[in-house]
Chains A and B, each alone.
Chain A
Amino acid sequence: MTATVAADVVQSADVVQSVDWLAIAPPVVAAVAGLAVLVLDLFLPEARKHLLGPVSCAGLALAGLALLPLLDGDRSTFCLTAEPDVCSYVADPFTLAVQLLVLGGAFVAALLSTASVRDERLPAGEFWFLLLSSAAGAALLPASRDLATLVVALEVASLPAFALVGLRRGDRLSSEAALKFFLSSVTATAVMLLGVSFVYAATGSLHLTTVADALPGEDARLETVAMTGVVLTLVGFAFKTAAAPFHFWVPDTYVGAPLPVAAYLSVVGKAVGFSGLILVTVVAFPRYDHVWGPALAVLAALTMTVGNVAALRQDTGRAHGAVRLLAWSSVGQAGYLLVPLAAAGGADSPTEAIGATVAYALVYAVVNLGAFAVAAHVRTRSAAHRVDDYRGLYARHPLAALALGFFLLCLAGLPPGVIGLFAKVAVFRTAVDAGLGWLAVVMAVNVVIALFYYLRWTALLFLPAEEAAPARVARSAPARADADSAAAGVRTATAVRTVDGVRTARPVRISAPVTAAVALTGVLAVALSGAPQLVLRFASTTLL
């Protein structure tokens, strides 16, 4: 952004640009909070470091509140002084919706992190600074309307994320995850930058709307350059959204990262990739919709199938299976998110189609974060964190189990998860509307596949813990012991004691921030199920 601003200033030195601070408040507040936390970390004694968590949460909440004054109309700033309607930063409904998603998602992830930072002894100052910086970048991205700002925002959002993933020092899994994530992401950035430079070469502008007008270029010799630029830019964003075949880093990264960071990546990371993809396809390259439309349709079909089939094949007894399952399911869900985008390529009103993506992303954010919140609790009790460890959760924590069951059914799109169903209906609609019948059918098959593993997990929650307890306890006593004993009858409890000796049969209490996160997402999900219009209105309005 600074580069373009500087260029503008040189171009017309006599006009001083005025900055609409209110419009850029959401990302700025998050960034300032990040800096404040970094400074605060230097002066706080070790015993008080736990205060950084609440401060960061408050910063994110404040950034979210900064969205409120923007509701009354579109604002734009950092405009070209020569052409005032070409701007680098626009706060329109699309921006606000994605910023709400990003900041809300970061807020819930921060709630989950307060316990995690303490329990896993992560360096507090660094952790919170990185999280807030990443959130600031993610909040900037949907508002950016030129390719340079877009790339900068994307990097601000991703670079801290690498560090967050690798923050569990001395953990080989964590370092490996960070490295995988880093390498794939840097490749994506390199490819994308190359594409952006080609586009710039072909059109002479970085502003999305100007690019849209200039493409495919009057000069036929530039056609190939422009086309290559478009394709490379899209490939870069496909990497970021973890669309197949660029998805391989996801499961290992999620498993290696601290759990709240995985939650953050699954929601905010995805939102970043998708809003970038929406901006470049619909705003910058609408003339090439015959190229990216079908390509995205194939990508969507591939992504959802790969994700869901892999999730289906997850063994419930595998270590870290729960997070792995959520990771694969998030790949599958990314496939659904791509469907309206692919439909936008062939639709009469592309902006309405992408509304379905935004609506779906919001719903997905709420329920996926909710599922991660419950997982964060279960993880504190069983280090292995297998899907099997959720057996009998209802007996120990009825409300947490009901909440998780509800979230999973929302993800699956089955009543009582009404909002999940209707969000899928909105996505289906765009596909059927755009004449992509085959994609709708592929998605339908995928929905059924996904139902299988979501339901299997849901059913597990309500099973009595005792049925398979003795054999399993014997196999992996420390991981399972209290998980089983809490819910089981006296017989199992004694069996556990004889094996483990120390553990108590009382259920472990859920820590307050995690409870708050579960409650927040749970209430939101139930409210949305009752009044789906709250979020589905995005699917019927013009956002951009």
Chain B
Amino acid sequence: MLPLNDTAMALLLAAVVVLPLLGAAAALLPAPPGLRGSGPEQAVLRHGVTVTGVVLVAALLLALGFDHDHPATVQAETDVSWVPALDIRIHLGIDGISLPLLVLTALLTFLCALHSYFRMPEGPSAKGFVALLLVLEAGTLATFAVLDLMLFFLAFETVLIPMYFLIARWGGARRGPAAWKFILYTLLGSVVMLLGLLLVGLEAGTFDMVTLTTDNAPGADGPALGHTAQLLAVLSIGLGLAVKTPMWPLHSWLPDAHTAAPTVGSVLLAGVLLKMGTYGFVRILLPVAPDGMRTFAPYLAALAVAGIVYGSLVCLALARRGAGGDLKRLIAYSSVGHMGFVLLGIATLTRTGVNGALFANVAHGLITGLLFFLVGALKDRTGTTDLDRLAGRTGAALYGRVPRFGGLLAFAAVASLGLPGLAGFWGELLALLGAFHPADGLSRPAYLVFTAVGAFGTLLTAAYLLVVVRRVCMGDPDERPAAIPVGEGEENASPGANASPARAEPPSRTADASPVPVALPDVRGHEFAAWTPLVVLTVLAGLWPAALLGLTDPAVQDLLPGVTR
């Protein structure tokens, strides 16, 4: 659409990756005169908004300059040798698979920066917060932009430290253990992944993803990797990616991390970080180790549907009255289910399924990002995310008390359950369709069972989300929620248990008896600004899925040579 030449595109992509890093360094320096603003905190938060804004603009320019007629070819390519000793090259480039994720990341991070500008999470200085946010952005953008296995690993790991600190320093109750759990799980997976990547690189003689892909394409002189190497590669790399995704049963870090993380952390964790795992499956494992994937695909699919059902059942249990369910935790578990659909799509090894997976990836980023924003805002207003405390006897009655807010929450919930016409629908539909007709060589009956179980999972998803809508949005606005005895569920531990005395605590135990404040502010201006893009994109992706599928499908065809469905 925009006529940009190759150099300009390459520079834009490099800028997208490097700018946040420079911005992070600059955030730590004192503000120059003229940019001091009303105070150091405000200045650095504004700096964060500026940098992420510029990155978003650059990412949008990239999307506009992208040659939409050839989404399968790698564009905006940079290829420079970095560490010849280890054969590591700075190889950047985007195609139809990575572009949507790149733009999604830039958008979500910008919205997060905007959100924190108006509402900085409780915790130490804003300087560190902004710097970590920008490093996080650099790491995720780099993950989607690099085409070298070692660089991919480097980018994959870069996000850990900032996310750890975001949770551990700016999080809520139980943030310390949750942050530990997050980083240990991910590290354990990624060290194994490193071994797998090394194996691939040494066996094939290159770390370059493009070369590895073309080596396995039909017409090339045989696959670059032997069968055993492929199996080992899928096992080890897959393990690292599965922890990140997260795949059941490796998911148990996720609910804790989400519950403890600040709103911004949850949004980025769900919206972007989880996608790095599934992106790795599509980008690395599918083309590099096709034989290995074919062997393990049924197991992956089985675990994926187990995750779908498990996530939904946990959510149903959490949504029940008296269960003491935490809304953030509920959404976290719903992510396990949604990512299950993504994995199921990939495990079908069909074009339909993989396209569905990529679509569901983006849709989940939009919808769950929105949900976490909303729940964060709800916590700001009411001081709690505990469903029982919120809902009281009849319900929290957000429709009645804050109609716009309640409407948005209901919108996000139905989008999440996959209502046709919204973004959540297409990904899950395509994944299930792919599973109905899996690739040749995969057992059709087994996949039919997976399809059935997955479809049942959508029903459960609808069930718990509707329960949530009923309990949070509906109810009698004039009724004051009665005190619910607190203390039976693990989520009900005192919020201040390991928070410092200086932290502003949500209503403590003694306040439990008193009702949630009746007068709640409706959607504020900045919240409106932060959420509108997500809402618009959710509707757009739901009504015009071709925009996204047109980008991914040609690239997916290249990844799955010889597959016709």
Residues of B within 8 A of A422 (CB): 83, 86, 88, 150
B442 to chain A, nearest CB (A): 29
Stretch touching chain A among B31-39, B161-169, B346-354, B379-387: B161-169
Establish whether residues B157 and A533, one from each chain, have CB atoms under 8 Å apart when the complex forms. Answer: no
In the assembled complex, A5 has its CB within 8 A of some CB on chain B: no
Question: Which listed residue (A415, A452, A464, A466) contacts B157, Cβ 8 A?
Answer: A415
Residues of A within 8 A of B523 (CB): none
Establish whether residues A428 and B195, one from each chain, have CB atoms under 8 Å apart when the complex forms. Answer: yes
In the assembled complex, B53 has its CB within 8 A of some CB on chain A: no
Establish whether residues A533 and B187, one from each chain, have CB atoms under 8 Å apart when the complex forms. Answer: no
Establish whether residues B500 and A467, one from each chain, have CB atoms under 8 Å apart when the complex forms. Answer: yes
Within 8 A of A (CB), among B408-453: none
- Residue of chain B at shortest CB distance from A467: B500
Cα A303 to Cα B383 in complex, Å, equals: 51
Within 8 A of B (CB), among A404-436: 409, 414-416, 418, 421-422, 425-426, 428-429, 432-433
In the assembled complex, A447 has its CB within 8 A of some CB on chain B: yes
Establish whether residues B195 and A444, one from each chain, have CB atoms under 8 Å apart when the complex forms. Answer: yes
In the assembled complex, B486 has its CB within 8 A of some CB on chain A: no
- Residue of chain B at shortest CB distance from A426: B86
Cα A13 to Cα B369 in complex, Å, equals: 86
A-B contact count (CB 8 A): 90
In the assembled complex, B183 has its CB within 8 A of some CB on chain A: yes
Establish whether residues B85 and A540, one from each chain, have CB atoms under 8 Å apart when the complex forms. Answer: yes
Question: Which listed residue (B84, B135, B150, B194) contacts A444, Cβ 8 A?
Answer: B194
Residues of A within 8 A of B195 (CB): 428, 432, 440-441, 444
- Residue of chain B at shortest CB distance from A445: B191
In the assembled complex, A311 has its CB within 8 A of some CB on chain B: no
In the assembled complex, B82 has its CB within 8 A of some CB on chain A: yes
Establish whether residues A432 and B198, one from each chain, have CB atoms under 8 Å apart when the complex forms. Answer: yes
Residues of B within 8 A of A428 (CB): 194-195, 198
Residues of B within 8 A of A409 (CB): 161
- Interface residues in A, total, Cβ within 8 A: 36
Question: Which listed residue (B128, B139, B160) contacts A462, Cβ 8 A?
Answer: B128
Residues of A within 8 A of B158 (CB): 415-416
Question: Which listed residue (B85, B124, B161) contacts A416, Cβ 8 A?
Answer: B161
Residues of A within 8 A of B160 (CB): 414-415
Question: Which listed residue (A432, A489, A539) contacts B199, Cβ 8 A?
Answer: A432
In the assembled complex, B529 has its CB within 8 A of some CB on chain A: no
Query: Knowing A432-B202, A444-B194, A467-B500 touch, does A451 contact B187 (C-beta < 8 A)?
Result: yes
In the assembled complex, A265 has its CB within 8 A of some CB on chain B: no
In the assembled complex, A455 has its CB within 8 A of some CB on chain B: yes
In the assembled complex, B520 has its CB within 8 A of some CB on chain A: no
In the assembled complex, B518 has its CB within 8 A of some CB on chain A: no
Establish whether residues A421 and B161, one from each chain, have CB atoms under 8 Å apart when the complex forms. Answer: no
Cα A425 to Cα B150 in complex, Å, equals: 9
Residues of B within 8 A of A451 (CB): 183-184, 187
Residues of B within 8 A of A537 (CB): 84-85
Size band of the B side of the interface?
20 to 34
In the assembled complex, A459 has its CB within 8 A of some CB on chain B: yes
Question: Which listed residue (B135, B168, B187, B500) contacts A466, Cβ 8 A?
Answer: B500
In the assembled complex, B543 has its CB within 8 A of some CB on chain A: no
- Residue of chain B at shortest CB distance from A537: B85
In the assembled complex, A536 has its CB within 8 A of some CB on chain B: yes
Question: Which listed residue (B161, B169, B500) contacts A414, Cβ 8 A?
Answer: B161
Cα A429 to Cα B150 in complex, Å, equals: 12
- Residue of chain A at shortest CB distance from B155: A415
| Residue from B85, B154, B165, B198 with most neighbouring chain A CB atoms (10 Å) | B85
Tell me the dominant secondary structure on chain A's binding face: helix
Residues of A within 8 A of B124 (CB): 464
Tell me the dominant secondary structure on chain B's binding face: helix
Residues of A within 8 A of B169 (CB): 462
In the assembled complex, B8 has its CB within 8 A of some CB on chain A: no
Establish whether residues A533 and B184, one from each chain, have CB atoms under 8 Å apart when the complex forms. Answer: no
In the assembled complex, B466 has its CB within 8 A of some CB on chain A: no
B239 to chain A, nearest CB (A): 11
Within 8 A of A (CB), among B178-199: 183-184, 187-188, 191-192, 194-195, 198-199
A452 to chain B, nearest CB (A): 7
Establish whether residues A418 and B198, one from each chain, have CB atoms under 8 Å apart when the complex forms. Answer: no
Residues of B within 8 A of A294 (CB): none
Establish whether residues B191 and A455, one from each chain, have CB atoms under 8 Å apart when the complex forms. Answer: no
Establish whether residues A444 and B86, one from each chain, have CB atoms under 8 Å apart when the complex forms. Answer: no
Question: Which listed residue (B128, B161, B191, B500) contacts A448, Cβ 8 A?
Answer: B191
Residues of A within 8 A of B84 (CB): 533, 537, 540
Query: Knowing A429-B198, A440-B195 touch, does A536 contact B83 (C-beta < 8 A)?
Result: yes
B369 to chain A, nearest CB (A): 24
Residues of A within 8 A of B187 (CB): 414, 448, 451
Cα A409 to Cα B139 in complex, Å, equals: 16
Query: Knowing A418-B154, A464-B124, A464-B500 touch, does A447 contact B191 (C-beta < 8 A)?
Result: yes
Establish whether residues A533 and B198, one from each chain, have CB atoms under 8 Å apart when the complex forms. Answer: no
Cα A71 to Cα B500 in complex, Å, equals: 57
Cα A325 to Cα B194 in complex, Å, equals: 26
Within 8 A of A (CB), among B270-323: none
| Residue from A425, A536, A537, A540 with most neighbouring chain B CB atoms (10 Å) | A425
Cα A421 to Cα B160 in complex, Å, equals: 14
Cα A493 to Cα B198 in complex, Å, equals: 52
Contact with B along A511-544 (1 / 0, CB 8 A): 0000000000000000000001100111110000
Question: Which listed residue (A415, A440, A464) contacts B161, Cβ 8 A?
Answer: A415
Query: Knowing A414-B161, A425-B86 touch, does A455 contact B150 (C-beta < 8 A)?
Result: no
Cα A489 to Cα B195 in complex, Å, equals: 46
Query: Knowing A414-B157, A415-B154 touch, does A462 contact B500 (C-beta < 8 A)?
Result: no
Establish whether residues A444 and B82, one from each chain, have CB atoms under 8 Å apart when the complex forms. Answer: no
Cα A441 to Cα B187 in complex, Å, equals: 14
Cα A447 to Cα B199 in complex, Å, equals: 18
Establish whether residues B82 and A533, one from each chain, have CB atoms under 8 Å apart when the complex forms. Answer: yes
A410 to chain B, nearest CB (A): 12
Residues of A within 8 A of B85 (CB): 359, 426, 532-533, 536-540
Establish whether residues B161 and A539, one from each chain, have CB atoms under 8 Å apart when the complex forms. Answer: no
Establish whether residues B191 and A444, one from each chain, have CB atoms under 8 Å apart when the complex forms. Answer: yes
- Residue of chain B at shortest CB distance from A444: B191
| Residue from B168, B187, B202 with most neighbouring chain A CB atoms (10 Å) | B187
- Residue of chain B at shortest CB distance from A398: B28
Establish whether residues B188 and A539, one from each chain, have CB atoms under 8 Å apart when the complex forms. Answer: no
A239 to chain B, nearest CB (A): 30
Residues of A within 8 A of B198 (CB): 425, 428-429, 432, 440
Residues of A within 8 A of B183 (CB): 451, 455
Residues of B within 8 A of A418 (CB): 154
- Residue of chain A at shortest CB distance from B500: A467
Within 8 A of A (CB), among B135-171: 135, 139, 150, 154, 157-158, 160-161, 164-165, 168-169
Establish whether residues A536 and B500, one from each chain, have CB atoms under 8 Å apart when the complex forms. Answer: no
Establish whether residues A429 and B194, one from each chain, have CB atoms under 8 Å apart when the complex forms. Answer: no
Residues of B within 8 A of A415 (CB): 139, 154, 157-158, 160-161
Q: Which residues of A contact B (CB under 8 A)?
A: 359, 409, 414-416, 418, 421-422, 425-426, 428-429, 432-433, 440-441, 444-445, 447-448, 451-452, 455, 459, 462, 464, 466-467, 489, 532-533, 536-540
A-B contacts besides A415-B154, A416-B158, A536-B86, 17 pairs, CB < 8 Å: A359-B85, A415-B160, A421-B154, A425-B150, A428-B194, A428-B195, A429-B202, A432-B195, A432-B198, A444-B191, A448-B191, A451-B183, A451-B184, A464-B124, A467-B500, A537-B84, A539-B85
Q: List 18 A-B contacts (CB under 8 A).
A: A415-B154, A415-B160, A416-B135, A416-B158, A422-B83, A422-B86, A425-B86, A428-B194, A429-B86, A432-B198, A444-B191, A448-B184, A448-B191, A451-B183, A451-B187, A532-B83, A539-B85, A540-B85
Q: Which residues of B contact A (CB under 8 A)?
A: 82-86, 88, 124, 128, 135, 139, 150, 154, 157-158, 160-161, 164-165, 168-169, 183-184, 187-188, 191-192, 194-195, 198-199, 202, 500, 502
The 8 closest A-B pairs by CB, nearest first: A540-B85, A536-B85, A415-B158, A444-B191, A532-B83, A415-B157, A533-B83, A539-B85
